[in-house]
Amino acid sequence: MNGAAEQWVFVCATSQLLPGERTVAWDGDTAILVVNYDGDYYALEDKCSHEDFELSAGNFDGDEATIECVLHGAKFDVRDGRPLCAPAYEPVPKFPVKVDDVGIWTRDDRG
């Protein structure tokens, strides 16, 4: 993925992702969960670190800034990807987000 890490991927217009909402963007083969927590945007890999399952299928708590995996109940802080309870012990990769006049952008910056 050389060079691809420098390419930003358009997520959506800011008006399409209101506080408490989430969406999924794709950077190549990587699904990226983008959430609006209280007006700030955060991006995590859309994959539970406990088991390969989409976090976007789970409950996003817009008051607590958490996403819960529906498979086994692991919760993660959407601001930094850290696990908050078992069975997950490893963080979910966090990705950069930028906002401009066009909208919200993210990228898989792992190279």
pTM score, two decimals?
A: 0.93
Q: Rounded to whole angstroms, how far apart are CA atoms 111 and 106?
A: 14
Task: Spell out the CATH class of 16-106.
Answer: mainly beta
Q: Kindly report, residue by residue over 44-57, the tens digit of the pLDDT.
A: 999 999 999 999 99
CA angle 100, 104, 110 (to 5 degrees): 110
Q: Rounded to whole angstroms, how far apart are CA atoms 81 and 104?
A: 19
Q: Kindly report, residue by residue over 70-103, the tens digit of the pLDDT.
A: 999 999 999 999 999 999 999 999 999 999 999 9
Domain residue ranges of the chain, discontinuous segments joined by +: 16-106
